[in-house]
Amino acid sequence: MIELFDAQAGFGGARRGQPWIPTVEELLGHMERLSISRALVRTDFEEMDGNVPLSNQILYETCARHGPLMACPTLLPAGCGDVPSEQEQIDELIKNGGGAATIRPERDSWSIAEWCCGELLGMLEDRRVPVLCRLANFGFETMADLAGRHPELPMVLFQVGYRFQRTLIPLMKTFSNVHLAVGSPFSVHRGVESMTEQVGAERLLFGTGFPNSDMMPPITMLTYAEISDADKQLIGSGNLDRLIGGIRR
């Protein structure tokens, strides 16, 4: 049986016009029902997440109470002095057993230029902390720029739709530090097989996309993919375990 470690899940955030705020209890209930053993979790929905330090604190406290969950906090450049320093943010992530960070330049209104975020990304690179990057917050050109400037920084692109294969595959072939979470909306026909053949199973991470989408389709896609059982296990949990295990704590 494939062990599943969800790299693409969240709870607790709000969205304009959406009365539902996904709770941790809902996430854990779905995980138990679908035999997902662990999840790397962020604040999601992220649209109205305006107080990043508070959201991170809630995330850390919640993960400390629930063993299957591992925190993926949002980190920010600290140039204007309104949040703790980059070093303090990363130390807090390490102290709380975090498994990755997420950065949201578009959502949180900061520049990806080196003079703005170079210190943050450089420190994450030094500690080998995986960084989750939602495509809507970046775009492929930005991902390529950051991956090239910080080649030892593990980057995980997620929420990538089915139309982007023609750009996604060259990106991942060019930058070996870029990985892909194959959760929703990655619904490419035989997409897991194609990505395994083109860039290798070791660059793919299982993800569901909760709360933005149902958790079952990505499980089905991985379970019935025409790849080896060993590759399925790498995608299901092995690759994320390897990336988290590489953090210099």
Assess whether the previous peptide bond of 186 is cis (omega < 30° from 0).
Answer: no
Neighbouring-strand partners of residue 5: 38
pLDDT tens-place string over residues 195-239: 999 999 999 999 999 999 999 999 999 999 999 999 999 999 999
Helix (H, G, I), strand (E, B) or coil at 123: helix
DSSP state of 202: G
| Predicted pLDDT of residue 19 | 93
Whether residue 114 is predicted with pLDDT greater than 90 in this model: the reply is yes
Q: Give the CA radius of gyration of the chain.
A: 17
Backbone angles phi, psi at 152, to 5 degrees: -100, 10
Q: Which residues of 173-193 are buried (b: 16+ CB within 10 A; e: fewer)?
A: eebebbbbbbbbbbebeebbe
Whether residue 1 is predicted with pLDDT greater than 90 in this model: the reply is no
The tokens 């070791």 sit on which residue? 202
| Predicted pLDDT of residue 102 | 98
Strands 204-205 and 178-181, sheet pairing: parallel
Give the CA-trace dihedral at 80, 82, 83, 87, to 10 degrees: 40
User: Check: CATH 3.20.20.70 for 5-245?
Assistant: no
pLDDT tens-place string over residues 139-195: 999 999 999 999 999 999 999 999 999 999 999 999 999 999 999 999 999 999 999
Q: What's the pTM value of the predicted model, to 2 decimals?
A: 0.97
Strand order in the sheet with 5-12: 5-12, 38-44, 69-71
pLDDT tens-place string over residues 42-99: 999 999 999 999 999 999 999 999 999 999 999 999 999 999 999 999 999 999 999 9
Sign of CA dihedral 143, 131, 219, 208: negative
pLDDT tens-place string over residues 29-44: 999 999 999 999 999 9
Of 156, 169, 143, 173, the C-alpha closest to 207 is: 156
CB-based contact 120:102 (threshold 8 Å): no
Of 216, 208, 223, 217, the C-alpha closest to 34 is: 216
Give residue 117's pLDDT band: very low, low, confident or very high (50, 70, 90). very high
